[in-house]
C-alpha cells in the first residue's frame, strides 16, 4: 500500500482517538450539549478586551481541569456561536493567546486575548456577556492584522496593588523582627534631618512604632487586669457584647477599670467577627461571663481583638508616605530581578526588567480601614515579581531600613524575599503603542485602547474587584496575618533589613530556606513560571 496508505491509516486512527477522548477545556464541566455541527463559517483574527475578578480562579490561562478565566471565556464564545463546533474542543484551533498570563487570584480591569472568531452576529459582545458570570466582562472585540499576538505586541503593562496603610506599622518591639532591628539598627543622633530619607525612616521606626505599641500595651494591660480580677467572669470590654455585659453586671467592673460601652472609642462589632477568623472555636459559644469557652481563650481573643482595632485605626503620616514613595522609586530603571521570582539565576539575561514608574496614591478610607494604591508600570514581569517587590518595600519601610536596600537586592547575592498577598494585585491595562501607531493604521484596523470604556471599567472595578479585595481584608486581616508571620520568623532570614545588610551569610541562610513564606497552592516549576505575571 506504500507509505502514503500507511500514513492515512495512522492519521485516521489518531483522529478517531481524538474524537473519543473526554473533553476538559470547559473548566471541568464538559463540552456544552447544545453544540450543533453545521457548515463552516469564516473566522476573523480579533483582539478581545476583557476584565475579570480572579478570586476563585486558578489564573488566566487555560489549564484543564482547573477553573480558569480563559476556560469561562472560551465556553462563552462557543455558546454565543463565535467559535464553531469544529473548533470547540481545542482553543489552539482558533489561535488563542493573551497579553498577560495573570497568576492565581490576580484580577484584571483590562487584559487582551486574541483568537479567530466568527463575526457574523452584530450583538456578539452582548451575547458573550450573557454566558459569562458578572465577574468576567467582555468590553470589546476589535479586528486585528492576521499576525497579531497580544503578548509580543504588548509593550508595557500597568499593575495596581492595594495595601492597607497599617501594613507599614513597625513590628512589635517584642517580636523577633522588631528585636532584631532594635538590636542592630540604632536610632540616629539628634537632631533628625528630615531631608535625609533614611534618617526620617529610622526615626519613624522608633518614634511612631513606640507610640503605636505603647498605646496597644495600655489597652492590653487593662484587659489583663480585668482577667486577673475574675478569670471565669472575664469578658472582652472592647467588643459591644462584652461592654454591654459589663455595663449590665452588678459590680460594673468595666466602669471601675475605666472601660465602658459609652467611653470606649475603639469598640467595633466588625472587629469581633475579624478575630473569629483568627481564633475560631470548635463550637461557637457566647462570649459573655459564664460561657463554656475556656477563660484563657477569651483572653487570647480579647488581646487579638484590641490589636486588630488599633491597626484598623492607624492613619499614615505624611512623612511615612514620603518614605514609601522614595522606596518604590528605587525600583525604577533597568534592574536584575532574579531575587524577585523563583528559579531565576543572576546571570540569565531575562532577569533584567524595565520599570518605568512605581507610585503610591494619597491614602483613602474604605469603611474604617485606610488604604493606598500602588501602581507599577513596567515592560514585562516575572512570576511573583510584583508581589515580592511590594513585600520588600513594605518590609523596608516598616523596619526603618535604608531605602537603598532595594538596590542591594538587584545584586548577585541571593536573599529571601517573601511574596505579598495575591488578592490585592490587579492588572489595570496592557499597552500597544507601536501597534496602534503603525500596524493598525497601515492595515485599516482600529487601535487597541481601553480609554473609551473607562467609565464601565471603573464601575466594574468597584463592584467586582475592589469590593472583593476590601471584603477579604476586612474578614481575614490578610496583611496582618502575613506580617505577623514574617515578624515571628527566623531572625537570620531577615537580618538584612537591619544595618547588618546583605552579606555572604545572608546568601547561605537564604539558599537553605525553602519557600515556606507563602500558603498559596501554586506550582513554581520552570515550566509554569515562564509567562506568568504578578
Residues 200 and 339 in one domain: yes
**Is 529 a domain residue?**
no
Spatial distance between the Cα atoms of 531 and 88, rounded to a whole number of angstroms = 25
Domain boundary among 272, 293, 312: 312
Residue 524 is assigned to a structural domain of this protein: no
Judge whether 103 counts as a catalytic residue: yes
Are the CB atoms for 217 and 306 separated by under 8 Å? no
Q: Of 72, 75, 89, 103, which is the active-site residue?
A: 103
Segments forming the whole domain that contains residue 274:
208-312
C-alpha to C-alpha distances, 383 to 9, 66, 344, 367, 524, nearest whole angstrom: 44, 19, 10, 32, 8
Strand bridging mode 532-533 / 101-102: parallel
**What is the domain-level CATH number for residue 202?**
3.30.70.660
Helix axes 385-398, 478-487, angle to 10 degrees: 70
Single out the residue of 256, 43, 185, 75 nearest to residue 498, CA to CA: 185
**61 part of a folded domain:** yes
Question: Does residue 266 form part of some domain?
Answer: yes
Q: Which of 530, 445, 525, 434 is nearest to 152 (CA)?
A: 434
Last residue in a domain, options 270, 297, 312: 312
What number of other Cβ atoms are within 10 A of residue 431's Cβ? Answer: 21
Q: Are residues 43 and 130 in the same domain?
A: yes
Verify that 288 and 324 share a domain, yes or no: no
- Show the DSSP H helices in 240-294 as ranges: 240-248, 253-256, 269-278
Q: Are residues 407 and 334 in the same domain?
A: yes
Tens place of pLDDT for every residue, the chain, 534 residues? Answer: 444 444 444 445 555 544 544 444 555 555 555 555 556 789 999 999 999 999 999 999 988 889 999 999 999 999 999 999 889 888 899 999 999 998 888 999 999 999 999 999 999 999 999 999 999 999 999 999 999 999 999 999 999 999 999 999 999 999 999 999 999 999 887 788 888 999 999 999 999 999 999 999 999 999 999 888 888 888 888 776 665 555 565 455 444 444 333 333 343 444 444 334 433 433 333 455 555 678 888 899 899 999 999 999 999 999 999 999 999 999 999 999 999 999 999 999 999 999 999 999 999 999 889 999 999 999 999 999 999 999 999 999 999 999 999 999 999 999 999 999 999 999 999 999 999 999 999 999 999 999 999 999 999 999 999 999 999 999 999 999 999 999 998 888 899 999 999 987 777 666 554 544 444 434 343 334 555 677
Mapped onto helix, strand or coil, the DSSP state of residue 299 is: helix
* Residue 401 near residue 388, CB atoms below 8 Å: no
Q: Cβ distance 253 to 229 under 8 Å?
A: yes
Helix (H, G, I), strand (E, B) or coil at 138: strand
Domain boundary among 277, 312, 347: 312
Does residue 321 sit within a domain?
A: yes
**283 burial type by CB count under 10 A (0-12 exposed, 13-18 middle, 19+ buried):** exposed
Q: Tell me, yes or no, whether 275 lies in a domain.
A: yes
**CA distances for 99 relative to 96, 153, 450, angstroms:** 11, 8, 14
Residues 377 and 321 in one domain: yes
CATH code for the domain of 149: 3.30.70.580
Task: Using alpha carbons, list the distances in angstroms from residue 185 to 13, 166, 500.
Answer: 71, 22, 8
| Grid cell digits, residue 82 | 463565535
Other CB atoms closer than 10 Å to residue 225's CB: what's the count?
Answer: 14
Q: How far apart are CA 140 and CA 128, in angstroms?
A: 11
Question: Do 179 and 264 sit in the same domain of this protein?
Answer: no
pLDDT at position 457, please?
97
Position 532 in a domain: no
Euclidean distance between CA atoms 87 and 94, whole angstroms: 7
Q: Are residues 182 and 294 in the same domain?
A: no
User: What residues contact 99, with CB distance under 8 A and at least 6 apart?
Assistant: 111, 112, 113, 150, 151, 154, 157, 430
Co-location of 387 and 440 in the same domain: yes
DSSP string across 342-380: SS--TT-GGGEEEEEEEEEPPPEEETTEEEEEEEEEES-
* Gap between the Cα atoms of 252 and 387, Å rounded: 49
- Cell output for 274: 475579624
Is-contact 387 395, C-beta < 8 A?
no
The answer as to whether 526 is a domain residue is no
Q: Is 277 found in the same domain as 195? A: no
The pLDDT, as a whole number, for residue 395 is 98
What is the rounded distance in angstroms from the CA atom of residue 164 to the CA atom of residue 369?
7
Same structural domain for residues 219 and 181?
no
The DSSP output letter for 340 is G
> In this structure, are 351 and 275 located in the same domain?
no
In the chain, the number of structural domains is: 3
Same domain, 202 and 221: no
Which residues neighbour 165 within 8 Å (Cβ) at sequence distance 6 or greater?
314, 315, 316, 363, 370, 371, 372
- pTM of the predicted structure, to 2 decimals: 0.82
Amino acid at each position: 500500500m506504500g507509505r502514503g496508505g500507511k500514513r492515512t491509516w495512522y492519521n485516521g486512527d489518531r483522529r478517531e482517538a481524538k474524537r473519543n477522548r473526554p473533553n476538559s477545556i470547559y473548566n471541568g464541566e464538559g463540552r456544552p450539549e447544545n453544540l450543533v455541527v453545521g457548515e463552516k463559517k469564516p473566522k476573523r483574527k480579533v483582539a478581545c478586551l476583557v476584565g475579570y475578578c480572579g478570586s476563585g480562579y486558578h489564573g488566566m490561562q487555560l489549564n484543564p481541569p482547573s477553573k480558569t478565566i480563559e476556560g469561562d471565556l472560551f465556553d462563552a464564545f462557543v455558546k454565543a456561536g463565535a467559535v464553531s463546533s469544529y473548533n470547540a474542543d481545542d482553543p489552539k484551533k482558533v489561535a488563542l493567546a493573551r497579553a498577560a498570563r495573570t497568576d492565581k487570584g490576580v484580577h484584571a480591569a483590562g487584559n487582551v486575548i486574541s483568537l479567530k472568531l466568527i463575526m457574523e452576529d452584530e450583538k456578539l459582545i452582548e451575547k458573550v456577556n450573557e454566558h459569562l458570570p458578572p465577574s468576567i466582562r467582555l468590553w470589546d472585540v476589535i479586528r486585528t492584522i492576521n499576525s497579531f499576538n497580544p503578548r509580543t505586541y504588548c509593550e508595557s503593562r500597568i499593575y495596581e496593588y492595594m495595601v492597607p496603610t497599617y501594613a507599614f506599622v513597625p513590628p512589635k518591639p517584642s517580636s523577633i523582627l522588631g528585636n532584631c532591628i532594635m538590636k542592630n539598627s540604632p536610632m540616629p543622633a539628634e537632631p533628625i534631618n528630615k531631608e535625609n530619607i533614611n534618617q526620617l525612616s529610622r526615626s519613624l521606626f522608633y518614634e511612631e512604632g513606640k507610640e503605636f505599641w505603647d498605646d496597644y500595651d495600655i489597652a492590653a494591660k487593662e484587659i489583663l487586669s480585668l482577667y486577673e480580677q475574675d478569670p471565669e467572669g472575664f469578658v472582652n470590654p472592647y467588643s459591644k457584647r462584652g461592654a454591654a455585659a459589663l455595663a449590665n453586671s452588678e459590680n460594673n467592673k468595666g466602669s471601675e477599670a475605666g472601660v465602658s460601652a459609652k467611653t470606649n472609642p475603639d469598640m467595633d462589632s466588625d472587629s469581633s467577627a475579624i478575630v473569629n477568623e483568627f481564633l475560631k472555636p470548635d463550637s461557637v459559644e457566647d462570649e459573655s461571663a459564664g460561657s463554656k469557652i475556656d477563660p484563657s481563650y477569651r483572653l487570647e481573643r480579647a488581646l487579638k481583638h484590641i490589636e486588630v482595632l488599633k491597626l484598623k485605626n492607624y492613619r499614615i503620616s505624611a512623612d511615612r508616605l514620603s518614605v514609601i514613595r522614595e522606596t518604590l522609586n528605587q525600583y525604577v530603571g533597568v534592574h536584575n530581578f532574579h531575587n524577585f521570582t523563583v528559579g531565576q539565576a543572576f546571570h540569565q539575561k531575562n532577569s533584567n526588567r524595565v520599570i518605568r514608574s512605581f507610585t503610591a496614591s494619597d491614602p483613602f478610607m474604605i469603611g474604617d480601614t485606610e488604604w493606598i494604591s500602588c501602581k507599577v508600570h513596567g515592560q514585562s514581569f516575572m512570576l511573583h515579581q510584583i508581589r515580592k517587590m511590594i513585600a520588600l518595600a513594605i518590609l523596608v519601610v516598616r523596619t526603618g531600613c535604608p531605602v537603598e536596600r532595594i538596590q542591594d537586592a538587584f545584586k548577585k547575592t541571593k536573599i529571601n524575599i517573601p511574596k505579598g498577598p495575591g488578592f490585592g494585585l490587579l492588572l489595570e491595562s496592557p499597552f500597544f503603542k507601536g501597534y496602534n501607531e503603525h500596524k493598525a493604521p497601515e492595515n485599516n484596523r482600529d487601535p487597541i485602547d481601553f480609554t473609551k470604556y473607562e467609565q464601565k471599567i471603573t464601575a466594574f472595578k468597584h463592584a467586582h474587584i475592589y469590593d472583593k479585595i476590601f471584603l477579604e481584608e476586612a474578614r481575614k486581616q490578610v496583611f496582618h496575618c502575613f506580617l505577623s508571620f514574617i515578624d515571628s520568623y527566623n531572625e537570620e532570614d531577615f537580618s538584612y533589613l537591619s544595618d547588618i545588610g546583605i552579606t555572604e551569610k545572608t546568601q547561605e541562610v537564604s539558599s537553605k530556606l525553602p519557600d515556606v513564606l507563602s500558603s498559596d497552592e501554586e506550582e513554581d516549576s520552570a515550566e509554569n513560571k515562564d509567562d506568568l505575571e504578578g
